[in-house]
Amino acid sequence: MNPSQGTSTDGPFRSGWDGPEALGFLAWAGAGFLQQGLVAGWLKATGFPSWFGMVCGQLVFLVFVLFGFVRLSRAHGLGFAEVLGCRNPLWPRHLGVGLLAGLAFLPAAYGLQALVSGLFRMLGFDVPIQNAVELLLSAGRAGRAGIYVAAGIGAPVAEEILFRGVVFAAIRDAGWPRLALMGSALLFGAVHFNLGALVPLTGFGMLLALVYDRTGSLLAPIAAHMVFNAAPFVMLLLGVEFAK
C-alpha cells in the first residue's frame, strides 16, 4: 500500500519528486527568500520597526513556499492535506511524536550552543545571538506577538516543507538516504547564518528528518519545530536571561 494514499501505519512518504522538480522548487523558494530580505529591508528603511520588517518578510517567504509546494503536489495528483499527512489516521500520534521530539532536543540544543559559543570565545571570536532572538529582546508586546507568529508558526511550516518535504525527500527517494539526512540538515543549519547555532541546528535538522522519515508525515517535524522555536518566548516569559 502506498503511504501517499493514506495508510494506518507509519512509514516514509514517497512523494515522487524528481531532481529537476526539487531544483525548480528550490529556485522558487530562493526567490521567496530574496523577496523576504527585500521586504524586510525596505520596511526598515521606510521607518518601520525592525521586527515588523522581519515578520512581513517571513510571511512573504511562507507564501512563496506554500504556493510552490501546492503546485508541486498537484502536479503529482496529491492534495496539500495529503502531503502534510493530515489524512493519515495516525496524525494525532504524529503530532505527539513531534511535540515530544522538540521538547526532548531542547536541552541538547542549548547545551551544544553554549559549548560551541564558549569554544569560539576561547579562540577570540564573538558569536552574536540569532537575529530573531535579538529582535525579540528589543521588541514590545505587539512586536513579540508578531515575531511569535512569524518565527514560532510561519517559519516551522515553511522550513519543514522546504528542507524535509522537498530537499530531504527528493534526495532520499533518489536512493541516497544518508546524503539526504546529512545534506538537508547541514543546509538547514547553514541558512540561519549563525556560527554559534550551526551545530545544534544541524543536529536538530537531522532529528527532524528522522522524525519525518519514520512517521511519513510533515505534521511531526512541523510540531517539533514549533516547540523548538517557542522556547525563547517561554524563556522570556519566565525571565530567563539569554546567553550573550
pLDDT tier at 137 (50, 70, 90 boundaries)?
Answer: confident
Q: State which H helix or E strand residue 131 sits in.
A: helix 131-138
More confidently predicted of 10 and 241: 10
C-alpha cell at 101: 521530539
User: What is the predicted pLDDT for the residue at 114?
Assistant: 86
Residue 154 CA to residue 146 CA, distance in Å, equals: 11
Q: Tell me, yes or no, if the pTM score tops 0.85.
A: yes
Q: Which of 35-44, 129-138, 189-198 has the highest mean pLDDT?
A: 35-44
Backbone torsions φ then ψ of 236, nearest 5 degrees = -65, -40
User: What is the predicted pLDDT for the residue at 7?
Assistant: 45
pLDDT tier at 5 (50, 70, 90 boundaries)?
Answer: very low
Residue 59 CA to residue 149 CA, distance in Å, equals: 9
More confidently predicted of 196 and 161: 161
21-30 tens-digit pLDDT? 999 999 999 9
Q: How many CB atoms lie within 10 A of CB 240?
A: 10
User: What is the predicted pLDDT for the residue at 241?
Assistant: 65
Q: Which amino acid is at 59?
A: L
215-230 tens-digit pLDDT? 999 999 999 999 999 9
Residue 66 CA to residue 97 CA, distance in Å, equals: 24
User: What is the predicted pLDDT for the residue at 8?
Assistant: 45
Give percent above pLDDT 70 in the chain. Answer: 93
Mean pLDDT across 196-224: 95
Residue 37 CA to residue 70 CA, distance in Å, equals: 23
Mean pLDDT across 115-137: 81
User: What is the predicted pLDDT for the residue at 242?
Assistant: 59
pLDDT tier at 117 (50, 70, 90 boundaries)?
Answer: confident
Do you know the residue count of the chain? 244
89-110 tens-digit pLDDT? 999 999 999 999 999 999 999 8
Backbone torsions φ then ψ of 46, nearest 5 degrees = -90, 5
Residue 211 CA to residue 22 CA, distance in Å, equals: 21
Residue 180 CA to residue 177 CA, distance in Å, equals: 5
Residue 71 CA to residue 49 CA, distance in Å, equals: 34
C-alpha cell at 120: 569560539
C-alpha cell at 231: 522556547
Answer whether 167's CB lies under 8 Å from 184's CB.
yes
